[in-house]
Structure formats: C-alpha cells, structure tokens
C-alpha cells in the first residue's frame, strides 16, 4: 500500500470515529418526554388525523435547550420491542410539541406510528415507550394502573409541560401546551 493511500484510509477511519462519537453523544442526550396522550379517542371528539379518523394520539415535548431530530427516536407500546417504530425527520425545537397519531395510514405529514395504544389489555399493561436507536429508554409511561388515563375522550398529561406531575387534562391540547 502506498503511503498516501494509507494516510487517506487512516484519516477516513479517524473521521468516522469522530462522527460516530458525535452521534452517540447526541443520542444519549435526547431530552424528549411523553407529554400528553389519549388512548380512547372516539367520534365524539374533534381530534382527527389527516384522513378524518379518530385515532389514539400521543404528544411528545422537547424539554431541552436544543432542537431534537426525531429520526433518532423510536416509539413502542411493548417493552420487548423498543425499536418498534422509528420516528421521522421532524425536528422538535426547544419547548416544542410533536403530535403522533395511532393507526397505520400514511399522510402528508407522515406522523402516524403504525399501531394504536390499548386501554383494554388486561394481560399485559400497556405502555408508551420512547427510546433511542440503541434501545435505551428515554421516557415511558404505563397507563393501565391509572383509570383517569384510560377514560374515553379524555387526555392525560404532564402539568405543566415537561414536569413530573401527571393529571387528567380538563381540555385535551394535542400539539400545544398543557394546562398548568
């Protein structure tokens, strides 16, 4: 191997190692939280997806000081399949909200997760789980033990946004700030 070729190969490997380190650090510092959700959205609400369907929905919130690229984030309802659905290239700005719809339809905004949450599974408690590409859980919420979280047409969320206090929301607010 020529000296120049060897140098280029080493430089390329060094560059890849540097870039890998950056993406790993970003992946470990994801500041996304589950902020609000509705697991029993019926035809009685005005909360509809792009096709007019009343699907379950979950709202994510960026609790950090920098934008987060969601293509590094996964959502699941099963702890044994944390990488169930990879999210899209959307960037959530600091203090921003990202609304995801249940169901497997594809819309212009590509904001469906390919499955619905359940409020009737008595065998395995349902959860909303957010993880990074390595399968490390960023945030999760198990809602089956919280009766208010499973009421039809009611949302359950953090109050205020991003806090550790959860409560049934008086007025669901998908994609915007929760009540204080």
Q: What band does 20 get if pLDDT is binned at 50, 70 and 90?
A: very low
Q: What band does 174 get if pLDDT is binned at 50, 70 and 90?
A: very high
Report the SS3 class of residue 87: coil
Does 95 or 126 have the greater pLDDT score?
Answer: 95
pLDDT higher than threshold 50 for residue 11 = no
Identify the CA nearest to 64 among candidates 25, 19, 30, 21.
30
Report the SS3 class of residue 69: strand
Report the SS3 class of residue 14: helix
In angstroms, the CA 128 to CA 143 distance is: 8
Per-residue pLDDT of 99-147, as tens digits, reads 999 887 766 666 878 787 766 555 455 899 999 999 999 999 998 778 8
pLDDT for 7 equals 37
Domain residue ranges in the chain: 1-30, 32-168
CATH class belonging to 32-168: mainly beta
Total-model pTM: 0.80
């Amino acid at each position: 191997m020529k000296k120049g070729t060897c140098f280029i190969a080493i430089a390329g490997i060094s560059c890849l190692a540097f870039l890998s380190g950056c993406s790993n650090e970003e992946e470990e510092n994801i500041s996304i939280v589950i902020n609000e959700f509705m697991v029993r959205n019926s035809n009685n609400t005005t909360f509809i997806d792009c096709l007019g369907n009343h699907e379950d929905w979950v709202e994510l919130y960026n609790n950090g000081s920098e934008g987060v690229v969601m293509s590094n984030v996964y959502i699941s309802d099963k702890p044994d399949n944390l990488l169930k659905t990879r999210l899209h290239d959307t960037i959530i700005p600091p203090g921003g909200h990202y609304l995801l719809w249940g169901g497997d339809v594809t819309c212009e905004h590509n904001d469906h997760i390919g499955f619905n949450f359940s409020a009737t599974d008595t065998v395995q408690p349902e959860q909303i789980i957010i993880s990074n590409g390595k399968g490390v859980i960023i945030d999760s919420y198990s809602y089956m033990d919280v009766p208010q979280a499973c009421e039809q047409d009611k949302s359950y969320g953090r109050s205020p946004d991003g806090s550790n206090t959860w409560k049934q929301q008086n007025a669901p607010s998908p994609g915007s700030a929760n009540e204080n």
